[in-house]
Structure formats: structure tokens, C-alpha cells
Amino acid sequence: MDKKIETFTEFRSRLVEATKRLETLMKRDPDPSYASILKQIQQVAEWTSKGFRPRDEDLTRLSFGMLASRNLDDTDQPLARELYMIADTLSHWPSAHTEWK
């Protein structure tokens, strides 16, 4: 899904779905890069659980969008694109807009 994420509800829904898809993929292929992606998106889920933007220092530690592009694109291109869209949404979440509901 390459559709831009417009609302917080959509962000959360797509984050949850991507997490489930990655967990399923990891059962078939326990690649360490997938584990890293999963850990990062679980952290994102925790940081954003109440609609708040993650801190800048937290965002700079994230690399799951790049990892997905490099390591998932050949295995599950739709999931790789979805993770990239989630990462892109986080990077464009304005700092002045700390809460998104």
C-alpha cells in the first residue's frame, strides 16, 4: 500500500498490520534484519500509543524503513513499501505537532 497516511487512526492501523505481517514472515524466515525491524516498529508503537510524536533523538535511532528497503523488498515488496511509508510518516510528523489524534 503506497497510499499516504493521513490520520493517526490510519497510522496505528497500518503499524499494527505491518507488525502482524512481519511476525508471520519471521516464523518462516528468522532473518536477524527482520528481528531488528520488528523491534523498532514495536518501539514506535509504544512511543506513539497515545498519539504523541516520538522525540527527535528517538527518531534518529530508527532505521527500519531503510532495512525494509534493503532486506524485505525481494521477499515481500508490499510489506517493505508499507514499512517505508510508516517510516516516512514518522519523519514528516512535524515537531510542532506533538500530538496527532
Residue 48 CB partners (closer than 8 Å, separation 6+) = 8, 11, 12, 15, 54
Give the global pTM: 0.88
Tell me, what's the pLDDT at 100? 63
Q: Quick check: 44 and 18 in contact, CB under 8 A?
A: no
Question: Domain ranges in the chain?
Answer: 8-91
Angle at 23 between CA 37 and CA 67, to 5 degrees: 20
User: For each of the chain's 101 residues, which pLDDT tens digit applies?
Assistant: 578 888 888 999 999 999 999 999 999 999 999 999 999 999 999 999 888 888 889 999 999 999 999 999 999 999 999 999 999 999 887 665 555 65
Rounded to whole angstroms, the Cα distance separating 8 from 100 reads 6
